[in-house]
Structure 1
Amino acid sequence: MTVQQPRTGVTLADFDTIMREKVPFVGDMGVVTEQLSADQARLRLPFNQRHIRPGNVICGPAIFALADIALYAVAWLVVPKADLAVTTEATVHFLSGAKPGDLLADAKILKAGKRLLIAECHIRSAVDGALCAHVIGTYAMPPEPR
């Protein structure tokens, strides 16, 4: 199977740099972009003991942050400068406790319109592959440059 490249030409290194420089909070989390294609992104959140909550599972805010970053990544696949793309809605279904370890986010575009992008993200534990969360998000997209 051939993987189509992003329409915008954004690379893995580009997106990691965007996160470090334009969204320092995300850069501080250490999220790594593992894959970008025409309509999908895979990101990894390396394990950090600070993400653990009582019950020895990864906390919800860390899981949602990873999902939101992955949804932002797919916005960059369709708009050359998605700096101004913002989350307008998100529905999170926490499905199972995430064991201590890295988390993987697989996001894909469901619909990309002129003003709104709708995408979904699955968060899995890299430890055992368990599906930890399913997120559907809507992003308001910036107007196209003239």
Structure 2
Amino acid sequence: MSEQNAAEFDLDEAKRVLGEVFAPWVQDLGLSIAGLEISPPAGAPAGWQPGATVRMAFSDRLCRHGGIVCGQALMALADTAMVIAILAANRGFRPMTTVDQTTHFLKAVASSDVLADARVVRLGRTMSFGRVTLFSAADNKPVAMVSSAFAML
């Protein structure tokens, strides 16, 4: 990655990637990037990790019977958020593909937006690893924990 690309990767670039690179059905999830953490903020703890916060707007189209947001939508949110987090850590676009994603569902979420807090655990040359916590925007309680691995292409 060139120094110019590193300097230009910001929230606007992340939004552009979300809108132009992902498949059309991912666009249909109603995702928006709420924030990026590319560099440690002042006073960050020693274990700080770069990441991204992505919001999935509530829609009845994402729900299964009973008005519960379906697991497939939550997993797609987590996967997409982790890609954005890896791009933030990389400070620019780099092709990658999901190798593994393990999701632990903690509680159902209904009639609420969902927030994904995605953190890069390790950014590597050939593999990158991350964790995502999904929260209900209604009460800020965790609804799922996700760990994932990506092959860097």
The counterpart of 2:143, out of the listed 132, 139, 142, is: 132
8 Å CA contact 1:20–1:26 kept in 2: the answer is no
| Runs of 5+ consecutive residues of structure 2 not aligned to the other structure | 1-5, 39-49
Aligned to 2:28: 28
Structure 1 stretches of 4+ moved >6 Å: none
**Structure 2 SS opposite 1:29:** coil
Q: How far 1:8 sits from its partner (Å)?
A: 6.0
Matched, 1:90 2:89: no
| Residue matched to 1:108 | 119
**Cα separation, 2, equivalents of 1:117 and 1:79:** 14
CA distance in 2, matches of 1:8, 1:110: 22
Identity %: 29
CA–CA separation in structure 1 for the residues paired with 2:51 and 2:8: 13
Quote the residue 1:67 is aligned against.
Answer: 78
Structure 1 equivalent of residue 14 of structure 2: 15
Aligned residues: 136
Mapped to 2, the partners of 1:27 and 1:8 lie a distance apart of 26
Report the Cα offset of residue 54 of structure 1: 2.0
Query: Using a 3 Å threshold, how does the CA distance of structure 1 residues 69 and 138 change in structure 2: closer, same or farther?
Result: same
* 8 Å Cα contact 1:90/1:135 also seen in 2: yes
The CA deviation string for residues 53-78 of structure 1, in whole angstroms up to 9 with x for no partner, is 12321100110011001110112121
The Cα of 1:130 is off from its aligned counterpart by: 1.8
TM-score, scaled relative to structure 1: 0.86
Deviations 1:122-141 (A, max 9, x none): 00000111211100000111
Question: Where in structure 1 are there 5+ consecutive unaligned residues?
Answer: 1-6
Give distance in 1, aligned partners of 2:16 and 2:118. 19
The alignment partner of 2:85 has SS state of helix
1:98 counterpart letter in structure 2:
V
- Superposed CA RMSD in Å reads 1.7
Distance in 1, matches of 2:92 and 2:34, equals 19
In 2, Cα distance between the equivalents of 1:68 and 1:74? Answer: 10
Tell me, yes or no, if the aligned pair for 1:99 and 1:127 is still in contact at 8 Å.
no
Q: Are 2:93 and 1:81 aligned?
A: yes
